[in-house]
Amino acid sequence: MTNLSKSPNTGNVRSNYVIRELCDGDLEYIADNLRSADARELNAVYGATDYADRLSVSAAYSQQLFICEADGKPLAVYGMAHTSGHDAVIWCCATRAISRFRLSFAKEARAVIFRWFQENPDLKALVNFTHVGNTANHRWLKSIGAEIAPSEPQAAKGEHFHFFTIGREAHV
C-alpha cells in the first residue's frame, strides 16, 4: 500500500484507542469481525460475501487509509479516494467492537476530514452511498456533518441506498 498518510494522532493513545497505518492481516481481521450492518451493506453493493477481497479493493483505490485500533486489534478501516478534482469518495467498515469507541471514533473522523479538506484546497465534498438499513452508520455520518439524501435503488442487487455528502463548508 502506498501514499498512506498519518493521522494527526497516529500513535497517540486515547482510552486504549489509536489511529495507525494499515498492517498485514488488518483487512482480514476486520472482514472476519464485521458489524452485521456493514456485512449486509457490502453484500448489497457487490453481491458477494468475500469481504476481505472487497476491503482490499477499496484500500487499493484509496489515496489515504487509516486503521482504528484498540487493545491491539483493528476496530475499523476508513479511506478516501479522489474521483475528480472536486470530489472524493470516503468509506468505512468496522467491527462490532467499534461501538465501545463511538466518541473517539467520531472525534478522530472529524479531525481527519478537516485535514483532508485542508490538504486538498480544491476538494469541495466527500461523498458515497450508505445502505438504507445501516442506521448506526447514518448516525455516525450525521455526527461528522454529513447530509443524507432520500434512499434510491442502487448497486448489484438494486437495494436502497442513501447518497451522502460531507461538504467543505461544514469542516473548514
Encode pLDDT of 15-43 as tens digits: 578 889 999 999 999 999 999 999 999 99
> Could you tell me if 116 and 88 are in contact, meaning their C-beta atoms sit under 8 angstroms apart?
yes
Which residues are within 8 A (CB) of 103 and not within 5 positions of it... i.e. 6 or more apart?
none
> Could you tell me if 52 and 28 are in contact, meaning their C-beta atoms sit under 8 angstroms apart?
yes
Give residue 15's pLDDT: 55
Q: How confident is the model at residue 64 (pLDDT cuts 50, 70, 90)?
A: very high
By C-alpha distance, which of 152, 154, 100, 164 is closest to 128? 164
Q: Is the pLDDT of residue 119 over 60?
A: yes
Classify strands 87-94 and 125-131 as parallel, antiparallel or unpaired. Answer: parallel
Q: What's the full length of the chain, in residues?
A: 172
CA distance 62 to 80: 5
Give residue 131's pLDDT: 94
When the pLDDT of each residue in the chain is averaged and rounded to a whole number, the result is 88
Structural domain boundaries in the chain = 17-170
Give residue 1's pLDDT: 30
Q: Is the pLDDT of residue 144 over 80?
A: yes
Lookup result for grid cell 434510491:
152
* Predicted structure pTM score: 0.85
> Could you tell me if 66 and 20 are in contact, meaning their C-beta atoms sit under 8 angstroms apart?
yes
pLDDT digits (tens, 9 = 90+) for 73-85: 999 999 999 998 8
Other CB atoms within 10 A of residue 72 CB? 7
- Tell me what the mean pLDDT of segment 96-110 comes to: 89
Q: Which fold has domain 17-170?
A: Aminopeptidase (3.40.630)
Give residue 147's pLDDT: 96
CA distance 34 to 94: 6
Amino acid letter, residue 96: R
Q: Cell digits for 96?
A: 462490532
> Could you tell me if 171 and 117 are in contact, meaning their C-beta atoms sit under 8 angstroms apart?
yes
**Which of the two residues, 28 and 11, has the higher pLDDT score?**
28
> Could you tell me if 54 and 42 are in contact, meaning their C-beta atoms sit under 8 angstroms apart?
yes
Q: Measured between alpha carbons, how far is residue 150 from residues 37, 134, 153, 163, 166 in Å? A: 19, 14, 10, 7, 15
